Structure 1
Amino acid sequence: MTSESKPKRATIKDVAEHAGVSVSTVSYVLNDSGPVAPERRNRVLNAARVLQYSPNESARNLKRRTASRIGMVIPDLTNQFFAMIAEGVHQAASAHDVLVVLVVPGSAEQSEEEQTRLLRSQRVDGVVYLSSTGSMPAASYELARSGPVVLVDEQIPGVDLPAVVSDSRKGAREVAQHVIDNGHRRIAVIGGPESLWTAQQRLAGYREAFAGAGIDPDSVPVLVGDYRQDAGYELASRALAADIEPTALICANDLMAVGAMEYCRNSGRRMPNDVSIVGFDDLPLSSLLTPRLTSVRQPAHDMGYRATTVLFDLIENRTPAPMSLLPTTVQVRSSVCDINGA
């Protein structure tokens, strides 16, 4: 079909002309926002049916300051932690009858920049954004200029956007203290990407626990990974090849802890007797591993839900707090051995 033969979409003005009423009368009827005589109301509704008129939801929602659809940028749905955040976003949106347009840059050949441009084309009313790099592409800044954006899980330095995060620093400090309390002094850290706020916060928390226990934080080796299972495997092999082999590995997320456990198993090391391991996130799989993994529980679902409610506040012209900090808790299981002899 050529552009000349393509049917023209009916406008509110077309409905008004067909019904023989004013545009404001049509608006009153379709939005149920003002008094209209029954006979005129019926003419408007009949004209809308005949012309197959459908309102421009984006324009209506902008005027009402409500949302019809929001976007979410998330790095990877194969990561259970990210998927739980996405589920929280979906649940909050569903409660408001709002559609979620999901962009997963890691699952497509398109770059994050290209995927974010695609999201802009969907005319979403706002975006929940989870960064995998600690930065935002240029297209995402355009999103922030044209509508509300809320960060979840990560903060981005120099970006003035509201964020919903967990207390990673406190959780890291507490799980490292648990390792220390069980007598471990030869410790290695398998950390996350240095560019990410979460990795920085967790490393700071670990170092606080070391310093509080009289362990020089600079004496504890830190091997930097990318939060993926393969990195945990590789970095565990390097950490355990040191001249003074650590008795404990503190991993900055559960996926790297799983990789570290896999390496220990393949190399004949017993867990937790030879090597104790802890993680961060408390994914559902953590309690199913052998040994069951001690980890820091983050309220992933609640983070996604809260980020969405903050986004709705912005869309409806309310001012939320610049940052929402959700609590973390250490889930103690059987992956840490007490070497105090108690």
Structure 2
Amino acid sequence: MARGKGSDPNNSSHRLTAQDVARHAGVSIGTVSRVINNVPGVTPAVAQKVNAAIAELGWVPNVAAQNMRTSSSRMIGFIFSDIRNALYAQMTKGAEEVLAPRGYLLVTASSDGNPERELALIDLFKRRRADGMILTIEQENNVSTVAAIGNLSMPYVMLEREVSLGSTSVGADHYRGTKQAAEYLIRQGHQRIGIITGGQGTRVARDRVRGLEDAMNAAGLEIDRNLMRLESFSAEYAYRQTQELMGLANPPTALLSMGVRLLPGVLEALQIMGKSYPEDVSLICSNDSDIARIMMPKITAVRYDAMALGRVAAESLLDQVEGRTTSGTPPRIEIPTELVLRDSCRPLL
């Protein structure tokens, strides 16, 4: 009679162990342990024999026991600020593409932009003995949050954020992307360029504002601070600020909507006011969302690969977790942005 999957040839009630796998594969128990824990030093041929034995016997390693022996939970925490932001889903997918094949589970948690919840989640991952964390906090200058990060007893990477703790940060080149967008508008004759974005306490916002300022200064143009609305990434905020900007006696002739959740609010406000782009205002958005691609006219966008951000953050974190970092490891890793030209901007006569 054929024995059932997971049973022992001598005792059908016997619970399979690593020793059974080792015997079946003709290797030592130590070799089995190295294979299931992804420890270097096992040849591909031997690893294949062990994995084949595991599959044939139907053995499932005791993860809790593994973690106790190796002091590793094989778990990575990812704290981000807003579960409604589709970019975080892409970053999560990118990180999982790196972590899952290496035997790590990625556990995500949204703080909803609440510093107290950020602290609670950081403490939770510490108590659950996560091997490392990817962090996207709401405010880089929050004293309590920065102190909690500084007291972490595990590796971590800041994603689209940067704190003054000497830690590695991974982000898109928002400075260059915004500067390119502003330079494009200036070449078309625009001198009054508005910007709506959020995260004043983050490098993302600082780089975007600096990109616009540098482009304006290089062209010898005056910067009107009243055209900068920098308080939030929400669609509701974009809706209100677009109406305020377009209702000014001297409104902007071009608008930078820099945040994936802002664009719907901008478009709704223009519609309510009976205005359109590019006729009444030239429009450029960030993060090249589905809306930007399906609207008519299609909307010019500053684009970057959010999945690549997640992959780079995960790789950088694993370098720390698995001891591959060196003194030459860069504190800041950036992925490029590009300006995708469409039909939402027009030259001024």
Which among 300, 303, 306 is matched to residue 297 of structure 1? 303
| Higher alpha-carbon deviation: 317-326 or 294-303 | 317-326
Unaligned segments of structure 2, at least 5 residues: 1-16, 18-27, 36-40, 42-60
Question: Is 1:152 the equivalent of 2:176?
Answer: no
Q: Which amino acid aligns with 1:146?
A: S
Question: Which residue does the alignment assign to 2:227?
Answer: 221
In the comparison of the two structures, how many residue pairs are matched? 295
Whether the 8 Å CA contact 1:232–1:259 is kept in 2: the answer is yes
Which among 123, 148, 153 is matched to residue 141 of structure 1? 148
Question: Is 1:271 the equivalent of 2:277?
Answer: yes
Shift of 1:107: 9.4
| Higher alpha-carbon deviation: 297-306 or 179-188 | 179-188
CA deviations on 1:91-140 (whole Å, 9 max, x unpaired) are: 11112121111111229998222222222222110011112222465497
1-side partners of 2:157 and 2:81: how far apart?
15
State how 1:138-287 maps to structure 2 within 5 Å. 138=145, 141=148, 145-156=152-163, 158-218=164-224, 221-287=227-293
Whether the 8 Å CA contact 1:167–1:325 is kept in 2: the answer is yes
Shift of 1:292: 1.6
2-side partners of 1:154 and 1:210: how far apart?
25
Q: Which amino acid aligns with 1:322?
A: P
Question: Which residue does the alignment assign to 1:11?
Answer: none
Whether the 8 Å CA contact 1:116–1:140 is kept in 2: the answer is no
Shift of 1:175: 0.6
Q: Which amino acid aligns with 1:217?
A: I
State how 1:318-329 maps to structure 2 within 5 Å. 318-319=324-325, 320-329=329-338
Whether the 8 Å CA contact 1:187–1:221 is kept in 2: the answer is yes
Which among 92, 96, 99 is matched to residue 90 of structure 1? 96
* RMSD after superposition: 2.9
2-side partners of 1:111 and 1:105: how far apart?
5
State how 1:34-49 maps to structure 2 within 5 Å. none
- Alignment partner of 1:185: what SS? coil
Question: Structure 1 residues 219 and 102 mapped into 2: Cα distance closer, same or farther (>3 Å)?
Answer: closer
Question: Which residue does the alignment assign to 2:119?
Answer: 113
| TM-score between both structures, scaled by the size of structure 1 | 0.78
Whether the 8 Å CA contact 2:259–2:286 is kept in 1: the answer is yes
CA deviations on 1:241-280 (whole Å, 9 max, x unpaired) are: 2111221111222322331121001110021101111112
Question: Which residue does the alignment assign to 1:80?
Answer: 86
Whether the 8 Å CA contact 2:118–2:145 is kept in 1: the answer is no
Question: Structure 1 residues 198 and 139 mapped into 2: Cα distance closer, same or farther (>3 Å)?
Answer: closer
Whether the 8 Å CA contact 1:113–1:140 is kept in 2: the answer is no
2-side partners of 1:93 and 1:318: how far apart?
16
State how 1:47-62 maps to structure 2 within 5 Å. 56-62=65-71
CA deviations on 1:8-32 (whole Å, 9 max, x unpaired) are: xxxxxxx9xxxxxxxxxx9747626
Q: Which amino acid aligns with 1:295?
A: A
2-side partners of 1:286 and 1:116: how far apart?
35
Question: Structure 1 residues 238 and 139 mapped into 2: Cα distance closer, same or farther (>3 Å)?
Answer: closer
2-side partners of 1:91 and 1:273: how far apart?
43
CA deviations on 1:210-251 (whole Å, 9 max, x unpaired) are: 112221224662122311111111111111121112211112
Whether the 8 Å CA contact 1:191–1:224 is kept in 2: the answer is yes
Q: Which amino acid aligns with 1:237?
A: Q
2-side partners of 1:32 and 1:219: how far apart?
60
Question: Structure 1 residues 107 and 208 mapped into 2: Cα distance closer, same or farther (>3 Å)?
Answer: closer
Shift of 1:153: 1.2
